[in-house]
Amino acid sequence: MSAQLLTLPVPSHTTPDLHVPPERLHRDLATTLVAEDLAEQEWRLDSHERLTCSEHGQWLHRCVHAKPHVNKITGYRWCRPCRAELEVAVDEIDGTVTVHCPKCDRGAETKADFQLISACRQSLDAAHTARAAVAA
C-alpha cells in the first residue's frame, strides 16, 4: 500500500490572496529552496532536516507522502520490521503530523520518524509565516 497524504481544507490564514502575484507568493519558498540546497551542498544541513523538497519544489509537508521521500537505508518513512512504507498525515489546520505503518499499526518510534515529523512541522510553520508576510 502506498502512503497517502491526508487532505484537509486549507485554513483561511493560509489561503493565498488572489491579488498577490504568484512570483511574490512563492518567493519565500524559492529563497528557502535555494538556501537549503546550498547549505546541504556545503554540509551545513542534513538532508533529513530540510523544510523544502528540491525534487518537487515544494514545502516538505506538501509532498512528504510521495515515494521519493521513502528511504529504506535511513528508515525515513520506512517500517523496517514490516518492510513497508509509512503513511504520513499532515493536518494543516492544527499543525499535527503523524506517521503510521499500515501493516503493524505502529506510530512514530525511531529517530528518523521524529526527524520527519519535526521537519514537516517546521515546514508548516515556514509556509504559514511566508503566506502571512505576503498578506501583510
Name the stretches of the chain with pLDDT < 50: 1-22, 24-25
Model confidence over 51-89: pLDDT tens digits?
Answer: 999 999 999 999 999 999 999 999 999 999 999 999 999
CB-CB contact of 83 with 94 (8 Å)? no
At 26 the pLDDT is 57
57-60: which pairs have CB atoms within 8 A and are 24 or more residues apart?
A: 57/29, 57/33, 58/29, 59/29, 59/123, 59/124, 59/126, 59/127, 60/119, 60/120, 60/123
At 27 the pLDDT is 66
CB-CB contact of 102 with 83 (8 Å)? no
Give the pairing type, strands 78-79 and 52-53.
Answer: unpaired
φ, ψ for residue 16 (rounded to 5)?
Answer: -65, 145
CB-CB contact of 132 with 126 (8 Å)? no
At 56 the pLDDT is 95
A 10 A CB-CB count for 33 gives 19
At 136 the pLDDT is 66
